[in-house]
Amino acid sequence: MNRGPLIFLGIFLALAFSWTGIVLTNQIQYGSLTPYYDQNEGKTFPDKPSGLAERGRAVYQDLGCLYCHSQQVRRPGFGADTERGWGERQSVARDYVYERRVFLGTMRTGPDLRNIGARQPSADWHYLHLYDPQLTSPGSIMAPFRFLFEYRPVAGERSPKALKLPGDYVRQHGLDRPGYELVPTPRAEALVAYLMSLKDTYQFPEARPYVPPRKEGGSK
Amino acid sequence: MASASSLAASLNPATPPDTVARAELSEIDASTRWPAIVFLLSALVWLLVGTVFALISSIKLHTPGFLGGYEWLTFGRARTAHLNAVVYGWSTNVAFAVAFWLMARLSRAKLRHAGVLVIAACFWNLGVTLGVIGILAGDSTSIEWLEMPSYVTPLLFVAYALVGAWTVITFRFRQVEHIYVSQLYLLAALFWFPWLYSIAQIMIIFEPARGTVLALVNWWFAHNVLGLWFTPIGLAAAYYFIPKVLGKPIHSYYLSVLGFWSLAIFYNWAGVHHLIGGPVPAWVISAGIAASLMMVIPVVVTAINHHLTMVGSFGALRSSPTLRFVVFGAVNYTVVSLIGSTMAIRSVNEITHFTHFTVAHAHQGMYAFFTMVMFGAVYYILPRLLLKEWPSAALIRTHFWAAAIGVTLYWIDLSIGGWIQGMEMNNANVAFLDVVRHTIPFLLVRSGAGIIMTIGHLAFAVNVVWMLCARRPAGATAPTLFHKPPAMRAASAR
């Protein structure tokens, strides 16, 4: 008896089953999901990311930020994502249609970043936080990203982007050379532009929480 | 050239069949010698490389300033280098060697044109080397389990296809009618992985799908790397070595086949449990949860088979290094799989998702189960390839206890820490930085556990190098055991 071909068929069908179910069916179901056109506002949502934010996405990718930060807000009542202020609503598939890489993430060593642009709208805060997380979040275990900054002599005027470090921090860390400033590199600028672009504030119809219909004549 | 086995049998009609079988197996082992040695030694090097990156990443998580100035060693890269070094460097290299060695033995067929597999080994290791360097240099794709940059994909794919094809060809030349369950696992794993890998590469990297379909493809792939590649190889090895070392048949052949086919049907749907609560269709998540729970069937069936085979033979664990490692792995397979099914339940996942609990679970699966079974396999295979015995039983003992204690401490510690982290994270009254602060003691213990495991790896490496350098003994040798079993003690007293 030669059962080789039969075994092979079974092995093939086993994986074909989930490939059809998980990959193919979902690709057909919502693989061509389009942005939502809002007639009142006369534009589509979500917003298209800017070129600078797209470059920042590449920095987020190459530094591996997603291994500590998720980018998805779970629905109210499942976890405490909205209670923590990580988003006003749950994330929906349409939020991600423009993203060539989806950084949903599986780990929250740090907080969720899906709406970090709305929660921390200040670029200065982001620069300080990236340079040394202890400056803005004492006790954080986030890696410092000092290599995204440059300590350089002031050329002409001080850069408006120069980091506004506290005076004692500057002295302690020897960053007080006269005529020098600490500025973000273009990669840091792109990364911060990306982080500040992360905000899902538009209410898609499908993102409204489900409210069970009230029974007629029920008590209030 | 007449083979030694037939020669022995034709010269002396009284040659016991056992001697003939042993001679035949030793010829089959010899046919796999060079590719198996290359894969196993590469695996060992990657194990050490992966361990270094593991320690760096672990220390960084409680002491973030450690090596903080080096971009290429930032946590997101060091951790990813660790994962890829141990998954594609250590685990896959050793899995390849075990897969074709085992397939040749079980098929009673010599490996033909073994040189092709040596070339495959070179391609694979070149690919992983460039991939890990790429990750450290900033070319990571940041797609979990698929981080190596796309320029190494062709190298890896060609290497894999060669190993897969050669193993299937060996199976086709099988000299025995009966197909043992290990062969089913090996065939399936070697067929499934290239399919998963090519679909994932195409749909995520080369012609990306839109939006969160990417995440579904990602987790379909990533969980199946565990479920349809490493798990079958680990189980194939456990199904071979437990009865082999004990010298008795597996508890139930029927159950072993049932276990295989139920794993084949259910495991490949389970990956979606990594997206519970995420922005993907609810039906696919529910299907993933159902499949994860159905995994209880193959796990329990396999557990019955492995553990009932052991019943009555626990004494052998005292003497055989291979058995001790493999049984440790098999027990952990049962435990880790049942925990995994539990973690897929929505109310449990709400707590464990996004926490160190998942990290603990991953290490229990990949290390306490898979890696330990592979260590056991290497202790059995390498002496038969090199025709030398392990030089030091003390080093094997050190390896076992360091690895076993280290990884057990690791997963229990991080499971507790992760559970607390999840409970606190779901309570908005606990400030996030307090949640972080409360994980630090557990992260410190994890680093300690990592150091213990490192001691085991070093003992293993020293033993391998010592063995390579040792002179081949002239006559017959006896295996290196922890303790001499009673039968052998009696024999040597005679």
pLDDT one-digit tens code per residue, A58-116? 999 999 999 999 999 999 989 999 999 999 999 999 999 999 899 999 999 999 999 99
Chain A neighbors of B69, CB-CB under 8 A: 146-147
Flag whether pLDDT at B494 surpasses 60: no
**For an interface test with B, which of A141, A146, A149 has the most B Cβ atoms less than 10 Å from its Cβ?**
A141
Facing A33 at nearest CB: one of B210, B216, B433: B210
Q: What is the per-residue pLDDT for B486?
A: 62
Cα B266 from Cα A181, distance rounded (Å): 59
Facing B269 at nearest CB: one of A21, A67, A97: A21
For residue B254, count other CB atoms closer than 10 A to its CB.
10
- How distant is the Cα of B228 from the closest Cα of chain A, in angstroms? 9
SS3 A173: coil
Chain B neighbors of A105, CB-CB under 8 A: 354
Chain B neighbors of A15, CB-CB under 8 A: 192, 195-196, 224, 228, 264, 268
For residue A115, count other CB atoms closer than 10 A to its CB.
21
**Model confidence at A217, in pLDDT bands (50, 70, 90)?**
low
Q: What is the per-residue pLDDT for B359?
A: 97
Contact A179, A153 (CB under 8 A): yes
B435 token code pair: 């949640």
This prediction has a pTM of 0.93
SS3 A107: strand
Chain A neighbors of B228, CB-CB under 8 A: 15
Chain A neighbors of B284, CB-CB under 8 A: 21-22, 25-26
Facing A15 at nearest CB: one of B212, B214, B268: B268
Chain B neighbors of A17, CB-CB under 8 A: 265, 268-269
For chain B, where do the domains classified as CATH 1.20.120 start and end? 27-178
User: Could B211 and A99 be called an inter-chain contact, meaning their C-beta atoms sit closer than 8 Å?
Assistant: yes
Facing A78 at nearest CB: one of B213, B350, B427: B350
Chain B neighbors of A146, CB-CB under 8 A: 68-69
Contact B229, B94 (CB under 8 A): no
* pLDDT average, residue stretch B297-312: 94
Cα B255 from Cα B332, distance rounded (Å): 19
- How distant is the Cα of A79 from the closest Cα of chain B, in angstroms? 5
* pLDDT average, residue stretch B333-360: 96
User: Could B76 and A63 be called an inter-chain contact, meaning their C-beta atoms sit closer than 8 Å?
Assistant: yes
- How distant is the Cα of B318 from the closest Cα of chain A, in angstroms? 38
User: Could B142 and A60 be called an inter-chain contact, meaning their C-beta atoms sit closer than 8 Å?
Assistant: yes
User: Could A18 and B269 be called an inter-chain contact, meaning their C-beta atoms sit closer than 8 Å?
Assistant: yes
**DSSP state string for B13-35:** TT--HHHHHHHHHHHHHHHTHHH
For chain B, where do the domains classified as CATH 1.20.210.10 start and end? 188-468
Q: What is the per-residue pLDDT for A97?
A: 92
Cα B365 from Cα B38, distance rounded (Å): 25
pLDDT one-digit tens code per residue, A125-172? 999 999 999 999 999 999 999 999 999 999 888 888 999 899 899 999
Cα B328 from Cα B322, distance rounded (Å): 10
Q: CA torsion angle for B42, B43, B48, B52 (degrees, to 10)?
A: 100
Q: What is the per-residue pLDDT for A1?
A: 38
User: Could A93 and B280 be called an inter-chain contact, meaning their C-beta atoms sit closer than 8 Å?
Assistant: yes
Cα B77 from Cα B140, distance rounded (Å): 8
Q: What CATH number should be reported for the domain whose range is A36-207?
A: 1.10.760.10
Q: What is the per-residue pLDDT for B68?
A: 87
Cα A138 from Cα B436, distance rounded (Å): 11
pLDDT one-digit tens code per residue, B446-493? 999 999 999 999 999 999 999 999 888 877 678 888 887 666 555 444
Percent composition of chain A: helix, strand, coil (DSSP 3-state, to 5): 40, 10, 50
pLDDT one-digit tens code per residue, B237-272? 999 999 999 999 999 999 999 999 999 999 999 999
**Taking the CA of residue A63 as centre, how many other CA atoms within 13 Å lie in the half-sphere pointing to its CB?**
25
The class level of CATH for B27-178 reads: mainly alpha
Contact A117, A142 (CB under 8 A): no
Cα A74 from Cα A82, distance rounded (Å): 8
Facing B281 at nearest CB: one of A19, A29, A79: A29
Flag whether pLDDT at B364 surpasses 70: yes
The class level of CATH for B188-468 reads: mainly alpha
Q: What average pLDDT does chain B have?
A: 92
- Residues paired with A44 in a beta bridge: A37
Q: Which residue has the tokens 């606190």?
A: B424
Q: Which residues of B355-376 are buried (b: 16+ CB within 10 A; e: fewer)?
A: bbbbbbbbbbbbbbbbbbbbbb
Of B345, B347, B458, B349, residue with least CA distance to B398: B458
pLDDT one-digit tens code per residue, B58-103? 999 999 999 988 999 999 999 999 999 999 999 999 999 999 999 9
Of B227, B239, B246, B4, residue with least CA distance to B103: B239
* Cis geometry, peptide bond prior to residue A46 (ω within 30 degrees of 0): yes
Contact A73, A118 (CB under 8 A): no
Comparison of pLDDT for B10 and B308, the residue scoring more: B308
User: Could B80 and A67 be called an inter-chain contact, meaning their C-beta atoms sit closer than 8 Å?
Assistant: yes
User: Could A106 and B274 be called an inter-chain contact, meaning their C-beta atoms sit closer than 8 Å?
Assistant: yes
A19 token code pair: 């490939």
**Model confidence at A219, in pLDDT bands (50, 70, 90)?**
very low
Q: Which helix (H) or strand (E) holds A181?
A: strand A180-184
